[in-house]
Amino acid sequence: MALREIVTVGDDILRKRSREVAVVDDRIRMLLDDMEDTMRLDNRGVGLAAVQVGVLKRIFICDVGDGTGLHTFINPEILEKKGTVLSEEGCLSVPGKSGMVERPEFVRIRALDRHGDPFEMKAEGYLAICICHEYDHLDGILFTDKLVEENKTVE
Ligand code: NI
């Protein structure tokens, strides 16, 4: 396992559409492990998409600290969204900024896990928000595109 460098705003790769993963193999699992290490360093993140470490693949991970542990999503599809909540968000790729974004309260999502097996899950609250934030990264969308209100933070 290893740390990877996080790509930040200004790098065009963050605006590109990530591509489907053809085969979930050991190389993908190594990427997932590196992403987890990178996200967990200094407890700085609750989610990370592969594009944020410079890999344009439709992969993201989330651990919002709700006791359900790390969730891995490969080739995800959001099947259903319900409700609307305002959430305060930031992003490891947008250092020093946070702001309020509207997100669904509930999502149902289908994806492949780290073994390439399909699964479906329901999420609400902070996990649903995190899933939607990370999912947007796969299509080149940043939370700053959706700001209802910007909060300046000091880092
Ligand atoms: Ni982000």
Q: Ligand 1 is a single-atom ion; what residues have CB below 5 A from it?
A: 91
Tell me how many degrees the CA angle 93-99-101 measures, rounded to the nearest 5.
100
- Across the chain, the runs of DSSP E, i.e. the strands, are 47-49, 59-62, 71-82, 85-90, 97-103, 106-112, 118-124, 147-152
Give the Cα separation of 91 and 73 in Å (integer).
18
- Name the pLDDT band for 4 (thresholds 50, 70, 90): very high
Contacts of 48 (CB under 8 A, 6+ apart): 35, 36, 38, 39, 60, 61, 92, 134
In this structure, is residue 155 part of a structural domain?
no
The answer to the question of residue 41 being in a domain is: yes
CA of 95 to the centre of ligand 1 (A): 10
Q: Give a yes or no: residue 1 inside a domain.
A: no
Query: Whole-model pTM?
Result: 0.94
Q: Alpha-carbon distance 83 to 106, whole Å?
A: 7
Q: Is residue 20 annotated as a catalytic residue, yes or no?
A: no
Tokens of 84: 């609307």
Model confidence pLDDT, tens digit, residues 62-98 = 999 999 999 999 999 999 999 999 999 999 999 999 9
Number of domains in the chain: 1
Enclosing domain of residue 130: 12-150
pLDDT at residue 9, as a whole number? 96
Is 3 a domain residue? no
Whole-number pLDDT of residue 59: 98
CATH code, domain with 146 = 3.90.45.10
More confident residue, 152 or 14: 14
Distance from the CA of 103 to the center of ligand 1, in angstroms? 14
Catalytic residue among 80, 88, 105, 134: 134
pLDDT for 88: 94
Q: How far apart are CA 49 and CA 57, in angstroms?
A: 9
The CA 90 to ligand 1 mean position distance, Å, reads 7
Q: Is residue 129 part of a domain?
A: yes
Give tens-digit pLDDT for 99-144: 999 999 999 999 999 999 999 999 999 999 999 999 999 999 999 9
In a domain, 4, yes or no: no
Q: How far apart are CA 23 and CA 107, in angstroms?
A: 26
In a domain, 124, yes or no: yes
Q: What is the pLDDT of residue 62?
A: 97
User: How far, in Å, from the CA of 27 to the mean position of ligand 1?
Assistant: 23
Q: Is residue 105 part of a domain?
A: yes
